[in-house]
């Protein structure tokens, strides 16, 4: 992100009357807290009004250049050094600024760069500049190079270095010749400090107290920092910079910013996933949220988010809870730009719906554009049983004007024929059970006794 005037900076680092480097306290307090601590290089000014900017004025004798401080700020915001516009002289200046401000990892990065950039052609110039800027660590690195390349230093070097500095180099070489060589003269400088930018920006994202903008997403408040969002795209900048009147017209809730009807399907968890990506490059995004953010990413020209969404829905596993949102993306006219992915999503999605029609959640259809919902229903209609076609036709027509309600269970079975009444005289016994026509012994005895009496 940028730290310029239109991102509402509240920290002014003053180099001189004409040069000021801007920043944001909510970032610098986390990434570079030593900027606000006691430091002999900084003139302290009491801040009478907490709403006014923090003015941090550097003492001129510290020789901190504007460009060096800007590079320190860039490092604070993104954790990197732009080596494309770097050179050894600038590295010496940044080492100076990083030393004064105690930014250790940046200091190591610049020292490593300087060491790897030294050669016979530039050593005189850089050694002299390091001495002039009073950057002891840079001077030491140059001296060590001189020690390792003593054959190239001649009496002519005195003209380039100056008499005093040439004496220092000569004395170092004499000590080395006597065996008093610096212990780390040949060691390659390593960056040993951990890169904490992700952890730092996670804490910044979690710090609701410093957030200065609130979105209303499906009835849920989602807070953010304006400065984080402003430079990602012109379209997002326009959304963030809505006035209260504009916000009132859109959301009917003064003080909040809501998304328009076109993006009403974006849920609060999906929007929070977007913010995590913008804050600290978190690419954890499930398929449902990816589908909800698809149109938003395209309309607000968030290229990185668009690429992530296509990656997620292309590699993700289709399930009953996401197949309809995935088909919504597949049938979106913007997906025509990627016909290979579009056909893949349509094919996989439609097959899944047919195989799991009794379990698929059709509710998301009601939140989609009626054209897309109708197209999906028409495709489903072509492969389902005739008994379902009539119902789906009605649902397809209703989707243009109201929420689509499609039953989530299987179609009701056809009416069964009424049970056949038992014939007259029939019994409830099992017809397959064997019938025993023989009388039992006790019954036979009774019959015989009766006959004798007669």
The verdict on 109 and 175 lying in the same domain is yes
Mean pLDDT along residues 75-84:
93
Range of lowest pLDDT (273-287, 401-415, 424-438): 424-438
pLDDT at 183: 45
Which has more pLDDT, 448 or 168?
A: 168
Distance of alpha carbon 349 from alpha carbon 329, whole angstroms: 11
The verdict on 321 and 288 lying in the same domain is no
Residue 30, domain member (yes or no): no
pLDDT digits 0-9 by tens, 203-261: 999 999 999 999 999 999 999 999 999 888 999 998 988 744 444 344 445 568 988 88
Which has more pLDDT, 421 or 84?
A: 84
Mean pLDDT along residues 33-42:
88
Beta strands 11-14 and 54-58: pairing type?
parallel
pLDDT at 404: 46
* Final residue before a domain boundary, out of 267, 290, 310: 310
Residue 322, domain member (yes or no): yes
Tokens of residue 100, six digits: 């004064």
Is residue 366 very low, low, confident or very high in pLDDT (cuts 50, 70, 90)?
confident
User: Residue 236 is part of a domain; what is its CATH number?
Assistant: 3.30.710.10
Kind and range of the H or E element at 257?
A: strand 257-258
The verdict on 338 and 306 lying in the same domain is no
The verdict on 176 and 251 lying in the same domain is no
Residue 397, domain member (yes or no): yes
The verdict on 215 and 305 lying in the same domain is yes
Would you say residue 107 has pLDDT above 60?
A: yes
Tokens of residue 17, six digits: 């009357």
pLDDT at 278: 96
Tokens of residue 308, six digits: 């992530």
Interhelix angle 163-177/123-132, nearest 10 degrees:
110
Mean pLDDT along residues 98-109:
95
Would you say residue 411 has pLDDT above 60?
A: no
The verdict on 168 and 258 lying in the same domain is no
* Final residue before a domain boundary, out of 162, 193, 224: 193
The verdict on 109 and 187 lying in the same domain is yes
Residue 438, domain member (yes or no): no
Residue 80, domain member (yes or no): no
pLDDT at 105: 97
Closest CA to 143 of 115, 162, 104, 116: 115
* CA dist 233 → 1, 3, 251, 279 (Å): 11, 15, 22, 14
Would you say residue 189 has pLDDT above 80?
A: yes
The verdict on 276 and 219 lying in the same domain is yes
Distance of alpha carbon 118 from alpha carbon 114, whole angstroms: 6
Is residue 422 very low, low, confident or very high in pLDDT (cuts 50, 70, 90)?
very low
Residue 51, domain member (yes or no): no
pLDDT digits 0-9 by tens, 307-317: 999 999 999 99
Would you say residue 153 has pLDDT above 50?
A: yes
Would you say residue 357 has pLDDT above 90?
A: no
Residue 323, domain member (yes or no): yes
Which has more pLDDT, 349 or 168?
A: 349
pLDDT at 453: 46
Q: Which domain holds residue 171?
A: 100-193
pLDDT at 424: 43
Q: Domain tally for the chain? A: 3
pLDDT at 363: 85
The verdict on 303 and 328 lying in the same domain is no
Is residue 152 very low, low, confident or very high in pLDDT (cuts 50, 70, 90)?
low
* Final residue before a domain boundary, out of 310, 341, 367: 310
Residue 422, domain member (yes or no): no
The verdict on 215 and 285 lying in the same domain is yes
pLDDT at 129: 93
Is residue 16 very low, low, confident or very high in pLDDT (cuts 50, 70, 90)?
confident
């Amino acid at each position: 992100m940028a730290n310029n005037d239109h991102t509402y900076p509240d920290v002014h680092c003053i180099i001189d009357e004409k040069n000021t480097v801007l920043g944001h306290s909510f970032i610098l307090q986390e990434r570079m807290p030593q900027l606000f601590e006691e430091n002999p290089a900084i003139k302290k000014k009491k801040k009478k009004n907490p709403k006014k900017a923090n003015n941090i004025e550097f003492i001129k004798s510290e020789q901190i250049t504007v460009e060096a401080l800007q590079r320190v700020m860039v490092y604070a915001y993104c954790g990197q050094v732009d080596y494309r516009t770097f050179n050894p002289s600038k590295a010496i200046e940044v080492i100076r600024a990083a030393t004064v401000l105690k930014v250790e990892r940046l200091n190591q990065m610049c020292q490593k760069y300087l060491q790897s950039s030294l050669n016979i052609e530039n050593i005189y110039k850089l050694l002299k500049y390091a001495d002039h800027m009073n950057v002891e660590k840079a001077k030491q690195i140059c001296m060590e190079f001189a020690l390792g390349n003593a054959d190239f230093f001649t009496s002519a070097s005195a003209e380039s270095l100056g008499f005093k500095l040439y004496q220092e180099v000569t004395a170092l070489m004499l000590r080395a010749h006597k065996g008093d060589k610096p212990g780390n003269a040949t060691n390659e400088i390593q960056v040993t400090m951990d890169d904490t930018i992700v952890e730092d920006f996670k804490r910044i994202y979690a710090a609701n107290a410093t957030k200065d903008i609130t979105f209303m997403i499906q009835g849920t408040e989602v807070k953010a920092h304006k400065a984080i969002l402003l430079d990602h795209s012109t379209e997002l900048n326009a959304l963030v910079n809505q006035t209260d009147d504009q916000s009132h017209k859109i959301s009917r809730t003064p003080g909040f910013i809501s998304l328009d009807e076109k993006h009403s399907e974006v849920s609060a968890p999906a929007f929070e996933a977007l913010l995590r990506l913008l804050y600290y490059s978190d690419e954890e995004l499930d398929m449902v949220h990816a589908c909800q953010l698809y149109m938003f990413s395209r309309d607000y020209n968030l290229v990185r988010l668009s690429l992530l969404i296509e990656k997620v829905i292309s590699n993700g596993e289709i399930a009953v809870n996401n197949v309809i949102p995935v088909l919504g993306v597949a049938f979106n006219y913007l997906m025509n730009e990627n016909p290979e992915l579009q056909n893949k999503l349509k094919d996989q999605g439609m097959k899944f719906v047919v195989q799991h029609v009794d379990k698929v959640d059709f509710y998301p259809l009601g939140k989609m554009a009626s054209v897309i919902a109708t197209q999906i229903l028409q495709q489903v209609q072509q492969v389902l049983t005739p008994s379902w076609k009539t119902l789906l036709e009605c649902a397809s027509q209703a989707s243009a004007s109201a929420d689509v309600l499609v039953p989530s269970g299987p179609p009701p079975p056809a009416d069964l024929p009424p049970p056949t009444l038992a014939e007259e005289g029939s019994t409830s016994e099992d017809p397959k059970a064997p019938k025993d026509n023989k009388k039992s012994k006790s019954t036979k005895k009774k019959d015989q006794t009766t006959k004798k009496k007669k």
